[in-house]
Amino acid sequence: MRAFGFDDLAADHPVTFGKGVIPGAQLVAEHYGIDSTEEVLAEYLRQWKRIAEAGIDLLPGAESAVRTVAGSGILVALVTSGERGYADEFLRISGLAEVFVCSVTLEDVVKLKPDPEPYLRAAEIMGVAPSECVVFEDSVSGFRAARAAGMYSVDVGEVALQAIGDDAPDLAIGSFNDLNPDRLFGARD
C-alpha cells in the first residue's frame, strides 16, 4: 500500500485472503480509491516475487505430506486463484514442481473459488471423480469450493480451526504435522 501513498492499512481493510489475486486487487483498489486495479495487481505481484526470491517457508510438514501422498501413487494437483506465473514460480521456488501432475490457475477457469469450477477442472485433467478427491485448503472460499465440488476438504491453519457452520471444512488441522496421510486416504477408499 506504500506504493500508492498509504502508510498503513485501513482498520476496515477488505478481506482478500482466498479470493484470488484479481478479485483481491479489485477490492483493494475500490476500497482505497485507486484508479487502476491493474496497477494494484502489478504491485502485488512485484512484492510477491521480491518476497519469494528471498525464500518461502512452506507450512510445517507440508513438503513431507505432499511428497508422501505423491510417492504413494496418488495424483497431486495445485489449484490456485492466482495467475499461471504465480503458480509456476511457487512450484519452482518450493522445489515441488515434480510432484504435481497439473496446476489450475485463474487462466484455466471462468469462475474462481468459492465456485467449484477450479477443483472440478483439476479432477477432470487428472481423470479422477470429484468424490475421490481430497482438497487441502487454507481459506473459507476454498472450503466452500471443495464442498460444492463434492470433494472432501482438509483445511490447514488458524482459519480452518476457527471456521464454523457453512464455513467449516470436513476436517480441520493446525498444521500438516497433524496429518496422517495413510489414515486419511485409507478412509476415502
Domain boundaries, the chain: 2-53, 62-188
Can you name the residues that pair with 78 across neighbouring β-strands? 103
* pLDDT tens, position by position, 157-177: 777 677 777 777 888 888 888
The class that CATH gives domain 62-188 is: alpha beta
- d(CA 88, CA 129) in angstroms, rounded, equals 25
* pLDDT tens, position by position, 38-85: 898 888 888 877 877 777 778 888 999 899 889 989 999 999 988 898
* pLDDT tens, position by position, 102-158: 999 999 999 998 899 999 999 999 999 999 999 998 888 888 899 999 999 888 877
At CA 107, angle to CA 13 and CA 112, rounded to 5? 50
Distances (CA, A) of 51 to 25, 48, 58, 125, 156: 18, 5, 13, 31, 22
What is the length of the chain? 189
Q: What is the pTM of this model?
A: 0.78
- d(CA 155, CA 152) in angstroms, rounded, equals 10
Query: Could you give the percent of the chain with pLDDT greater than 70?
Result: 92
What 8-state DSSP symbol labels residue 77? E
> At 172, is the secondary structure helix, strand, or coil?
strand
